[in-house]
Amino acid sequence: MKFEFSTPGRVLFGPGTIDQAGPAAAALAPNEGPILVVTGRDSSRAAPLFSSLEASGLVCERFSIGGEPRFEDLRAVLLLARAAGARVVIGFGGGSALDLAKATAALLANPGDPLDYAEAIGGGRALSLPSYPCIAIPTTAGTGSEATRNAVLASPEHGVKVSLRSPSMLPRLALVDPELSYALPSRVTAETGMDALAQLIEPLVCSSPNPFVDAICRAALPRAARALPRAYRDGGDKAAREDMAYSSLSGGMALTNARLGAVHGIAGPLGGSFPIAHGAVCAALLAPVAAVNVAALRARNPESPVLRRYADIASILRSARAGSQGSRPEDAGPALGELALMLGIRGLGFYGVKKDDFPDIVRKAAQASSMRGNPISLLPDEFMTILEGAW
């Protein structure tokens, strides 16, 4: 048995933990220089954070990101941070704000242009110097970015999204307060929640299993399966919001220590070429990827232990719904499809993806790093089947 396991330096989880942000940041901050706070579009949602920071005597510089981060956004926030002399970075928001904060903390410590360090489209240079301290405070339950060691950035000119990656990009502190997600709209709850589910399922069936990851995913999957429909119907369901925050954190830990698969392998080029939120892409892809993976395993590797894992996933998903049966590997895709239908998940066609776009998406997806984690290598026609199913 051989594996590695990495987590954020510290995790604070629970309702009301946002009040501890100020003291935690003060412990990381040097005596001089402000704290850089990266938020989503609506920085007013970070009022509890700013109150806690101010109560600890900390001065802040602020940067808001309106959508998924691009390399030009990273260059802009780096200019602000360097001019201010910031040496601690806080990300507050969804995965976009957290990824931009982690990338900023890494590039403040490492010289050069962000593209020098980008995978696939850039120089792929290693981030050799440790990142500046970063605190990640999620307000959605989806990406698990508070527990990952990479940051995803879009490059519209290349039509892809790629990562900056380093073990030192794991946040020094992941502060997860479920109360911060109470105000999420139902559609955002659904799409980010399906992303969280994908990040529990893909590491569980990936090509590089890890016993710690298996335990994390198997503990969190039933919580997510039960809680996501409840949080979608009632954003104020405190128990459901807490379970989804826990599941998202678990998914971040899982993907950091195992691999993803075709859902994220296809989501990268789709998100890089079309104005689709990452969670929405994963939500549309999750069911057809499961169905195609099971069919491909049955056809070319029928003794694969991953088939048993898909059967377990089907059982977990179906047991979350009273009176629903199904525990064969082939039941996993339909169970995920039923959940997507219940949550009103939209297909790729809604976002302007045309079937004429499929060949280019398939070409890019086949080269994506996440595809190396898929439990079986997919054939071009299997990619097309997935896209048809998600369309």
Sequential pLDDT tens for the chain (391 residues): 788 899 999 999 999 999 999 999 999 987 678 999 999 998 999 999 999 999 999 999 999 998 889 999 999 999 999 999 999 999 999 999 999 999 999 999 999 999 999 988 888 899 999 999 999 999 999 999 999 999 999 888 888 888 999 999 999 999 999 999 999 999 999 999 999 999 999 999 999 989 999 999 999 999 999 999 999 999 999 999 999 999 999 999 999 999 999 999 999 889 888 989 899 999 999 999 999 999 999 999 999 999 999 999 999 999 887 656 668 999 999 999 999 999 999 999 999 999 999 999 999 999 888 999 999 999 999 999 999 999 9
Kindly state the tokens that stand for 52: 């806690």
Number of residues assigned to the chain: 391
Tokens of 291: 């169905």
Angle between the 332-342 and 306-319 helix axes, to the nearest 10 degrees? Answer: 40
Segment holding 11, helix H or strand E: strand 11-13
In the DSSP assignment, the letter for residue 206 is S
Domains and CATH numbers, the chain: 11-180 (3.40.50.1970), 184-390 (1.20.1090.10)
Spell out the long-range contacts of 363-366 with Cβ–Cβ below 8 A and sequence spacing 24 or more.
Answer: 364/159, 364/160, 364/268, 364/269, 364/272, 364/273, 365/262, 365/265, 365/266, 365/268, 365/269
Among the listed residues 250, 283, 260, the one whose alpha carbon sits nearest the alpha carbon of residue 204: 260
Q: Is 235 helix (H, G, I), strand (E, B) or coil?
A: coil
- Torsion from C-alpha of 363, 365, 368, 372, nearest 10 degrees: -110
- Report the alpha-carbon distance of residue 254 to residue 213 in Å, rounded: 5
Residue with tokens 């009301």: 16
